[in-house]
Amino acid sequence: MRYLICVLLCIGLGIGEVAAQQIVPPLKRQFLDSVWQVLPSATGAKYRRETEWRDSTAGTVRDYFLSGQLQSQEGFENIRTRRSHGVSAYFFENGQLKIHREYTHGATTGEHRWYYPSGQLKRREHYAAGQRLDGECFAASGAAVPFYEYYVIPVYSEGNGSPRAISAAISRRFTYPEDARRAGIQGQIILTFYVNTQGQVEDAKVIEGLCPSVNAEAVQAVSKLRRFKVARLDGEPVRFSFRVPITLKI
């Protein structure tokens, strides 16, 4: 009898654990600003977000313009890790479909389509298991145009243009301040900066530094970088941010 009670108790605990895992979180509502940062209230908001859970991990995230018009609807296999599954759709504020994307367990698959605000098809791509199979682009008139990548990151004009080449270029332009040299200050700093739509560096700053003179010299070194080949999003130039670590040794 004691053995039977023990078995029943273990079964009961197992059922309890399964039930706990299947607790569905309530509908979550948030407000976001123009760069999609979550706000504490509707003040200054541009979008409203609703997160609807299907179970303890999966569900749908919908963003709305403040007018109430749906801006996007994304299906997730895991909302917390942003693992997409199913169809994701994005809309212009006039309600016209802007982008249609398909995913299977986080991998890009199926047909992806982009549209002009008029409803004219802008580009179409086909994917399987995360790999693009083909693609085509169209002008606003509907005429076919040469295919171009949807997203292109900036490329630096020295070396191979990689982040390592950027770090090396900053190091070459850095002159060790005499006070830091005498004090034996060395180590790693982390810089951030933007490349604007003309390919120029701007808004450089040190977010993890060593001392005022070293930090100031690092910002000066970044400002001396050559122009970049600009980032593009759907064929249009866009501003792009960089985060670069630099190791300084005497």
What is 155-248's CATH number? 3.30.1150.10
Please give the pLDDT value at position 248: 84
The CATH 3.90.930 portion of the chain extends over 26-147
Q: Looking at the whole model, is its pTM more than 0.95?
A: no
Kind and range of the H or E element at 113?
Answer: strand 110-115
Residue span(s) of the chain under CATH 3.30.1150.10 come to 155-248
Q: Read off the tokens for 203.
A: 């808004």
Tell me the backbone φ, ψ of residue 4, rounded to 5 degrees: -65, -40
**Ranges under pLDDT 50 in the chain:** 1-20
Question: In this predicted structure, what is the pLDDT of residue 45?
Answer: 93
Looking at residue 196, what is its pLDDT?
95
- Domain 26-147 classification at class level: alpha beta
Q: What is the pLDDT of residue 163?
A: 83
Which position has the token pair 């389509």?
113
